[in-house]
Every structure is written in structure tokens, then in C-alpha cells.
């Protein structure tokens, strides 16, 4: 642990997540074209001793830095599209250079570059969009008021559709208290991983892997009521969660227990995150389901969806990572695939 962060993690009267990701404006280097912020503390790896900054740290602090440049409190994040360029370091904080792209009536856009202070190296970049009126509950209230007032020129009607969570959600959502949880990433995050993830699979169809949904439950541990700005903190927390754990479960998708993930090398390359609605609480259990859309050429593309515990979709993630699978894992997956098709052929022959 970085010495200057010890007092933060030992203080139970603050939101630790918000406090350690705080950014301060560097007015000396800010200009009319860009606003510069510097993190109060260095960003951290996924675990102490690991190389490089955890991607969720870049995403979360980047959201907070970009948000500080927004002139109105009416806007919240709508989407971001990011590239992880270099491994970050605990040796210095991150400097955020925020370029104003557009300030519209309903959308505001920023281009963000993150530099490691002690090396002046560009380590992360993204473009982020903020929008007004991303709260469906408020839209409904406004619409009903307009109808009551006899408004005949209503432009925005609160209509929505959305996909449903995968099968693991329905199987375990009512029994989460009976399942073991994992706490990690400097005690910010808790996950409940279905027990199926810790079992080996002898039969898999690699041709169908991209269509198969996996799922787990997650939440942030930091008390939002202690945050100075709970709204900004909760969006940053989902950004943090959006880069956490699910990629490791590729070992389960390929037939081995999740316990084998220690032998897996993966690092995020790029990341897109969409917030569909304002109404979520990352300190309550969330359901995250995902598909490994494509694995090949040392890359893995994942499409993930965040649901509230009530089953409402509120955020979507697409991420590609550099992935190196060891031979034991690929041999296991290939053998399980061959057994699947052999057993399938045998069944058809009997019919």
C-alpha cells in the first residue's frame, strides 16, 4: 500500500473510493482550450504488487476529471470510448488534460488524455459524452404533468424497451445471502460468483461459445451516504466495476475452474461504456452478464450488461483485451470440444 493512502483506507468516516480518486485543478497549466487536473493520489493496481494500474481506476478517475469541466449540474455521463495505452505506475499521480469538444443543449463532449506525472507519458485516453434527462423516472413525472396541463405538443415521450438478464440471474437472485462472496480490489468490490464457475467442464462447443451468456453479481462496498458528491461517485463506481473480474472467467468458459485464472495473462486494450439510465445504486447488488463474442489472434472481445437487482438494464460495456492462453488451457478446451461433438454424433446415430 502507498504510505500516503494508509490514512484514507483507515478512515471509516469518509467515502474512501471518492477520496482517493479526487482530482484537483492545475490552474497554472489550464488554458482556454483545455482544463488540467491532477489526481490527489497515485492510482493503484488490481492487487498490491501487480504491474500496472487497474483499468477501472483509469475509467473512474477519468469520469470524475472530465465531469469537473462540465459547466452545468444537469448533465450526467452517457458514454465513453477509451484506449489503455501504457501500464500506469504507483510512483506518481495521473495528470488529466480535458479538451472541450462540444457544449450543446442536450449533449456535452470531452476528449481526455491521461499522463503519468513523473514520466509525462501518455497512458490512457478516451472521449466521453454527457447528457441531460437520462432519468426515466423524472421523464415519466414530467410527461404526466404535461398531460395533466393539456400540453398537445409533447416532443419527448418516456417510452423504453430493454433486454432481460441471463439465466444465472434468475437462478440465484433470491438466494445471494446463501452464497459465498469475494472481496477484492483494495476492499472496494464484492462479487458473488455462481458455484458453476468453480467446476470443470468436460463438454463444450467452441463454435457456440460467443452465444453463451455467463453471469455474476457485484457491488461496491463504499458507503455512498459518506460521499461529498454521491451522484458523481456512483457513476465513477460503475466505471470502476466495468473493468473488473469478468475477463478472468474465460478459463471457465473454456472448460476449467475459475481457480485456474492465475495462469491467465490478460490486459485491457480498449473499452466502451454506455449509461442507459440514472437509476442505479452500485452499493446494492448488481447483476453483470456477458458473452465472449470472439477469442482469437491473442485477443478477446467481451460484451457485458449491468442490471439492477430488480432486473433493469442500466449500463452496457464492450471491451477487447490482449489475451494469452497457456497450452494446458487450450488443450483442455480442444479436447472438451471434440468430446462434445463426438457425443453429439453418437446421439444422432442412435436416433
Topology alike, domains 1-132 and 167-351: yes
Residue 318 CB contacts under 8 Å (≥ 6 apart), including other chains: 271, 272, 301, 302, 303, 304
Report d(CA 282, CA 233) in Å as an integer. Answer: 10
Instruction: Scan for cell 497450452, then name that residue.
Output: 327
How far apart CA 135 and CA 158 sit, in angstroms, is 10
- The secondary structure of 13-33 as a DSSP string is TS-HHHHHT-EEE-TTT--SS
**Domain parsing of the chain, residue ranges:** 1-132, 167-351
**3-class DSSP state of 47:** coil
Which pLDDT belongs to residue 345?
A: 57
Q: What is the pLDDT of residue 344?
A: 63
| Mean pLDDT, 10 residues at a time, the chain of 351 residues | 86 95 94 93 89 93 97 94 95 97 94 97 97 91 89 87 94 95 93 94 91 95 96 97 90 90 86 97 97 95 97 97 91 92 61 40
Per CATH, the number for 167-351 is 3.10.129.10
- Give CA–CA dist 131/344, Å, rounded: 50
Q: How many CA atoms lie within 13 A of 79 on its CB side?
A: 9
Q: Is the pTM here over 0.75, yes or no? A: yes
Residue 305 φ then ψ, to 5°: -135, 135
Which of 3.30.2130.30, 2.60.40.10, 3.30.1360.120, 3.10.129.10 is the CATH number of 1-132? 3.10.129.10
Amino acid at each position: 500500500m502507498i504510505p500516503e493512502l494508509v490514512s484514507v483506507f483507515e478512515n471509516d468516516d469518509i467515502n474512501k473510493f471518492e477520496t482517493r480518486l479526487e482530482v484537483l485543478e492545475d490552474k497554472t497549466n489550464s488554458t482556454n482550450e483545455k482544463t488540467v487536473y491532477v489526481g490527489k493520489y497515485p492510482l493503484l493496481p488490481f492487487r498490491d504488487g501487480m504491474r500496472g494500474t487497474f483499468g477501472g481506476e483509469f475509467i473512474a478517475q477519468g469520469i470524475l476529471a472530465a465531469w469537473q469541466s462540465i459547466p452545468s449540474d444537469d448533465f450526467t455521463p452517457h458514454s465513453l470510448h477509451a484506449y489503455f495505452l501504457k501500464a500506469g505506475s504507483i510512483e506518481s499521480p495521473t495528470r488529466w488534460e480535458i479538451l472541450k469538444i462540444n457544449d450543446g443543449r442536450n449533449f456535452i463532449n470531452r476528449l481526455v488524455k491521461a499522463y503519468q506525472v513523473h514520466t509525462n507519458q501518455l497512458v490512457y485516453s478516451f472521449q466521453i459524452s454527457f447528457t441531460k434527462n437520462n432519468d426515466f423516472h423524472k421523464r415519466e413525472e414530467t410527461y404526466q404533468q404535461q398531460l395533466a396541463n393539456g400540453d398537445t405538443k409533447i416532443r419527448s415521450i418516456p417510452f423504453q424497451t430493454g433486454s432481460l438478464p441471463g439465466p444465472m440471474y434468475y437462478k440465484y437472485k433470491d438466494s445471494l445471502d446463501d452464497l459465498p462472496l469475494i472481496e477484492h480490489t483494495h476492499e472496494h468490490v464484492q462479487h458473488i460468483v455462481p458455484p458453476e464457475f468453480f467446476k470443470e467442464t468436460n463438454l463444450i462447443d467452441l463454435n457456440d461459445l460467443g452465444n453463451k451468456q455467463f453471469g455474476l453479481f457485484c457491488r461496491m462496498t463504499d458507503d455512498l451516504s459518506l460521499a461529498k458528491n454521491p451522484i458523481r461517485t456512483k457513476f465513477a463506481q460503475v466505471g470502476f466495476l466495468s473493468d473488473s473480474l469478468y475477463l478472468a472467467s474465460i478459463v471457465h468458459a473454456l472448460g476449467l475452474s475459475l481457480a485456474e485464472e492465475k495462469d491467465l495473462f490478460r490486459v485491457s486494450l480498449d473499452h466502451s461504456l454506455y449509461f442507459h439510465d440514472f437509476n442505479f445504486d452500485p452499493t446494492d447488488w448488481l447483476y453483470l452478464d456477458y458473452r465472449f463474442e470472439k477469442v482469437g489472434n491473442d485477443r478477446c472481445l467481451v460484451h457485458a450488461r449491468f442490471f439492477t437487482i430488480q432486473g433493469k438494464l442500466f449500463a452496457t460495456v464492450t471491451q477487447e483485451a490482449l489475451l494469452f492462453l497457456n497450452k494446458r488451457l487450450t488443450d483442455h478446451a480442444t479436447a472438451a470440444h471434440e468430446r462434445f461433438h463426438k457425443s453429439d454424433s453418437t446421439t444422432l446415430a442412435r436416433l
